[in-house]
Structure 1
């Protein structure tokens, strides 16, 4: 095997950047992130080290090849072309993991069967023997992933998932996976706190996973040491001379780590039964002297008094309840936790991981950072706090900041209500960017959008609407200040995390949306259904992501598998990213702005889109459509067109008026459609009326694509799907 090998490490969603950082620390060369995985390169010894030392990965895969396939016969030939006799004894035990589909291979079980036949047939031709198929203790596990028409073929070096450390034989009612627990500790800064001698406490420790993972980090214990075996140990190419020194090194580091005096690591729980499970897990991990648990309710949670304890980290994963009655009962538990933390833990850092952020707010603590993660399939948040010791003067000052006028309190109450409704809907739907407020109170005429970055920070985008002519300018500005105060109070945000746009002072003529509004602005990345998209709340009038089009992009993604896709007036090409991740085989995205083309390119690169298959074109869409009629007739299966209502940009040959010009644009797009194709046409002109001749000439269906957070404003956009009349 070559010295430099390509590998893929999989992980839970939301941990990609942490895993990439960990892999680099372990010695990986270049790394490339994709949803729930990181690609990296290095030696076989590096792969062994990652299996032994990665606290975050689920699996480590050795990539054997990547091939283009169209159907089942292509799949068979591609898999049969791998020299499997070099990887498994023909009479050994084989297991296959197959994920993904395409137009021809529509069932992963069928794909797995076809791949299994290819491997077995090749081995039987080579030796006359065939392997047994069994998922229990296989000699080789083959991992195949089909995305669009690309098949990745790999060997699973890890065996069972790496989150299964081997110490947890007893679990509580809502277990936290070990690698997710490790991620929470890393996000909360535990390694630095432990190095400084700070303690780790968990007031609702359950079966003790956070405590055990924290102790293993502090004692420099490899998370894979207790595992019975790894997948690579029965692989024909396994090199014991590389593996055994790594294991011996890990054992020595563990011995030295446990000889050191570790910080206080202690857990509590009100349920004595669950503590029996915690004690059994702690003993199996060999950490009885380092980790202690005891029965104590949250109301009695205090700093341990048996030894001098340096302020450190309180980290916990409290229950969050699935039914309303449970949630109401838990609200007091969270409130009690907040009271105890403020009273007993000044100077400590705190992390609360919950699937119900609303309960996290019941602590009455101000989180300075939030991370969006998943506990299994449940969208969750890690809320981080700092408990500060305050002088009497600073307490008076803070109380003054928290005292809101009656007007501001009215707006704050509406924001709180919306967080309980729209915010909870967004969190359950896995939506990290949404509209919280849209002129709900007419005298406070603005829209407020929330953006959760991939790094866990919360940002608010406040867009003021033009006040009625009878409202004095100074009154409108005062109301805007009140609105921002309410946002700061309810969302616990500092000024640097709030962007304010006053639309009434900006002309929309001459491409004002392209002008920078700040020279100090910084972009960040957000997640939308697995796509990572760049957002900038400060630099331009718009943010790079039209939130009202979220369900439109989702709809395009559902239509996209196997299609050739055209995106006109593509803006930052977020719709193309969704279509590509949904399975479109080729795309063209057109916009006349160099700024947006470069922004689109960053979105493409972040989501690992092949630039040869997904083309970005900087051009006037009107001129491009004219030229396209010559040589692209019937070229696209799916077209998305979202033009501005009006544009007279200097870069355009003419003036675009969407009400006047849409019949011509639609006919030009329909000429580019392949048989059976569809055009999704959108615009945001509230007075727009579809041309009657277009409705007679084509099948025109109005699509009610509007999510809950925009239903107060049903005319924010219009969306149609247009097909030829003679096609179903």
Structure 2
């Protein structure tokens, strides 16, 4: 049987794997090119490549190549091809264009020129013009533009070979099936599968890696489920040859499915992804051969009775919050694999090789593969088995673990005595572990972990190593699942950046503080919505609020307002500029059966407000406007806790608390009823209270009284003053 030329395309980085695969299928005269492999094959071998190639994208049969100095040359070259010898006028066709040319910059236009040339050829030969069908053509013609040259080919497969036929249409996947197969081949899965080794994907998504792995283990041809092929309406198609090859593949599949199967399993936190995975598994003919479960990758355990391959394609993030979660994920994934998967191989496919370094595992092989246009790395590891069970405990950070354990024991006793359920358990006590760790009872325990950005003088690799050890020890000492450890990287904030949304989980939890119910969010913002260092101040407000009129400026999520209302305040007024936090504050009041009203702008002079009111306004502007009134509102209790700096786009100018605090305090004093109290606090380091304020008010520094046991170490930035009118 005579041979035909082939050019088989594949994802970039997979060319060498494809060459080996095609050689095994019988393709000869192989030559690797960027994005594919050229060669020659008999028609039967070309069919085999379509049916059996796991890593190919398309099997193209080049028809002719010619120069294209302009669009007319493309049309002329395409028109001289004897298309009527390739397919008849009753077959629909489509043109697919790839590559680039300086003479034809619009690929759609280039495709139209070839379409016209084909139609005109059929007309020239006295045949009807064939129809164009861009969705499901009988014949697909591939045009490749390479600078000033063009190549026309018949796409023998008719559609990309990654479309195996088991994935539900319309569902996007992070990995195409042929790239998933290439990852498995690079990771050594075919040899491991032959030995009966297990395969496990702890973040399996829609199950692509697992299905491809199961097909390799069962010797199933990746093209066996496809129902349409580009060569079926080709005039040189040999149906008998194709029928024989399919029957051979079906026999191999039946034999493979009848043989003992390796343990193959996956898990994922996304129930919707797992639902798609189960459907894909059924469609792939693998029901009962792949175990799927909902669960956290960091709580997974080995499957099967021998070491095997852990393979996964972790997510990558686009938001700041995603970035922090990914740092936590990669850091703890490396620790988890070392603790539980000793003796296994691991393969992590990632577009973020910088995060791969955070795993703390030394890759013995690294391959560059392209997921579309994105250059990714496949990191392959051999996981050393622990000599003893004790050796599998988190390595490194023992001094941090000891301090955390000591703090946790001491502060748990204090918290029980003080009826405190949410508190800081560690605050950069050791300079090498610059973390702030807050515990929240929701009632299940959560840890909110903030890492203070290390100075530039610290080696980044060493900082990563310490963070990895710190996160692992937090999980170990506090006995928390990774899903209840919420990690943030706290950098120096500008403007209102600390209030910028970092994620979109929308997950809120309810905590209780001195009888007040409050919502917290561990993921979507840098802060949780509850400043724990203000706990004593909020309790003081709660105890002093009975029967009083309370003003809360820069109210954030309204926690102090809740305490005042629960304490019996007859009126509360809370001011902030953020709709997000004002709505959050309203929900906090409602959690405590207190109804409130939100005013989108300051009410008119003399307008009667609801007993518990929120006003969306710039606090500085509101204070200035109120201070100018002849009949000013009077408040018995005022809480002034501004940010240290703000340049929000919603406000005019900027706020600098060191520069502006005296003016703010004078304005608050003008609204303070006789005998009333103004509390002013700030967390600005190095803050100095304007001594001239002593002429207008009696001032007491009550910082020490507003620091609980959990915020006394190290010396905090928190400062607080009590101000009264001078008598």
Map of 1:148 onto structure 2: 147
Q: Does 1:64 align with 2:60?
A: no
Does residue 96 of the first structure (1) align with residue 92 of the second (2)? no
1:215 paired with 2:214, answer yes
Query: After superposition, where does 1:132-531 map in structure 2 within 5 Å?
Result: 132-169=131-168, 174-304=173-303, 309-391=305-387, 413-414=458-459, 416=461
Kept in 1, the 8 Å contact 2:103–2:148? The answer is: no
Deviation of 1:92 after TM superposition, in Å, equals: 2.5
Separation (CA, whole Å) in 1 of partners of 2:135 and 2:352: 37
CA distance in 2, matches of 1:56, 1:188: 14
The Cα shift of 1:52 comes to 0.6
Per the alignment, do residues 417 and 343 of structure 1 end up closer, same or farther by CA in structure 2, a change over 3 Å counting? closer
Partners of 2:170 and 2:356 lie apart in 1 by 24
For 2:359 and 2:101, locate their aligned partners in 1 and report how far apart those are by CA, in whole Å: 48
Deviation at 1:382, TM superposition (A): 1.0
Is 1:90–1:124's contact at 8 Å kept on the other side of the alignment? no
Q: 1:171 to 1:145 in 2, by over 3 A?
A: closer
Instruction: Tell me the number of residue pairs that the alignment of Structure 1 and Structure 2 aligns.
Output: 410
The 8 Å contact of residues 298 and 336 in structure 1, kept in 2 or not, is answered as: no
Shift of 1:318: 1.2
Specify the alignment match of 2:40 in structure 1.
Answer: 41
Cα displacement (A) at 1:4? 1.4
8 Å contact 2:203–2:312 — kept in the other structure? yes
Separation of aligned partners in 2, 1:132 and 1:195: 48
C-alpha separation in 2, matches of 1:295 and 1:393: 27
Distance in 2, matches of 1:393 and 1:271, equals 32
- Contact persistence 2:350–2:377 (CA under 8 A): yes
- Contact 1:172/1:274, CA 8 A, preserved across alignment: no
What is the deviation of 1:289?
Answer: 1.9
Q: Distance in 1 between matches of 2:113 and 2:27?
A: 34
CA distance in 2, matches of 1:417, 1:378: 29
**Partner secondary structure for residue 234 of structure 1:** coil
* Shift in Å, 1:243: 0.7
CA distance in structure 2 between the aligned counterparts of 1:212 and 1:261, rounded to whole angstroms: 16
Residue 412 to residue 366, structure 1, CA distance change in 2 (3 Å) = farther
Q: 1:207 to 1:74 in 2, by over 3 A?
A: same
Give the conservation status (yes or no) of the 8 Å contact 2:68–2:103: no
Provide Cα deviations, 1:604-624, integer angstroms capped at 9, x if missing partner: xxxxxxxxxxxxxxxxxxxxx
Q: Distance in 2 between matches of 1:359 and 1:182?
A: 23
1:378 Cα deviation from its structure 2 partner: 2.3
User: CA 1:102–1:179 in structure 2 vs 1: closer, same or farther (change >3 Å)?
Assistant: closer
Whether contact under 8 Å (2:202, 2:297) holds in the other structure is yes
Cα deviation code 1:50-90 (max 9, x no counterpart): 11111111111011112233223322222122111111112
1:390 to partner: Cα distance? 4.3
Q: State the partner residue of 1:641.
A: none
Alpha carbons 1:171, 1:277 under 8 Å: kept: no
Aligned to 2:8: 9
Aligned to 2:504: none
State the Cα deviation string for residues 535-568 of structure 1 (Å, max 9, x = none): xxxxxxxxxxxxxxxxxxxxxxxxxxxxxxxxxx
Alpha-carbon distance in structure 2 between the residues aligned to 1:117 and 1:190: 47
| Deviation string, structure 1 residues 82-126 (Cα, Å, up to 9, x no partner) | 111111112431211223454433322222222222111111111
- Give the superposition deviation at 1:132: 0.8
8 A Cα contact 1:175 1:207, kept in partner: no
- Counterpart Cα distance in 2 of 1:81 and 1:133: 19
Greater mean deviation of Cα atoms: 118-127 or 181-190: 118-127
Which residue in 2 is equivalent to 1:480? none
CA contact (8 A) 1:302 1:340 kept: no
Q: Secondary structure at the match of 1:286?
A: coil
Structure 1 residues 413, 159: closer, same or farther in 2, change over 3 A? farther
CA–CA distance in 1 between the matches of 2:337 and 2:455? 29
Paired residue secondary structure (2:2): coil
Helix, strand or coil at the partner of 2:145: strand
Asked if 2 retains the 8 angstrom alpha-carbon contact of 1:331 and 1:362, the reply is: yes
State the SS of the aligned residue for 1:290.
coil
After superposition, the CA RMSD in angstroms is 3.0
Classify the secondary structure of the residue corresponding to 2:280. Answer: helix
Match of 1:540 in 2: none
**1:283 Cα shift?**
0.5
Contact 2:100–2:147, Cα closer than 8 Å, also in 1? yes
Is the 8 Å Cα contact of residues 170 and 278 (structure 1) preserved in structure 2? no
Deviates more, 1:346-355 or 1:69-78: 69-78
Match of 1:283, SS state, is: helix
Aligned with 2:109: secondary structure? helix
Shift of the 34–413 alpha-carbon distance from structure 1 to 2, 3 Å rule, reads: farther
Mapped to 2, the partners of 1:9 and 1:30 lie a distance apart of 13
Distance 2:9 2:284 in 1: 25
- CA distance in 1 between counterparts of 2:337 and 2:261 reads 23
1:456-504: per-residue Cα shift (whole Å, max 9, x none)?
xxxxxxxxxxxxxxxxxxxxxxxxxxxxxxxxxxxxxxxxxxxxxxxxx
Question: Residue 231 of structure 1: SS of its match in structure 2?
Answer: coil
Structure of greater Rg: 2
1:53 equivalent in structure 2: 52
Cα drift, residue 149 of structure 1: 2.2
Q: Could you tell which deviates more after superposition, 223-232 or 125-134?
A: 125-134
How much has 1:394 moved relative to structure 2?
Answer: 14
The aligned counterpart of 1:552 is none
> How far apart in 2 are the matches of 1:395 and 1:311?
18
Q: How much has 1:337 moved relative to structure 2? A: 1.9
Q: What secondary structure, in the 3-state scheme, does the structure 2 residue paired with 1:179 have? A: helix
Distance in structure 2 (CA, Å) of the matches to 1:325 and 1:393: 35
1:651-703 Cα shifts (integer Å, max 9, x gaps): xxxxxxxxxxxxxxxxxxxxxxxxxxxxxxxxxxxxxxxxxxxxxxxxxxxxx
Give me the whole-angstrom Cα distance separating, in 2, the residues matched to 1:92 and 1:399. Answer: 66
Deviation at 1:228, TM superposition (A): 1.6
Residue of structure 1 in register with 2:431 after alignment:
none
1:270-291 CA distances to partner (integer Å, 9 max, x unpaired)?
2222211111100011101211
1:236 positional shift:
1.7
CA contact (8 A) 2:91 2:233 kept: no
Unaligned runs of 5+ in 1: 401-408, 421-728
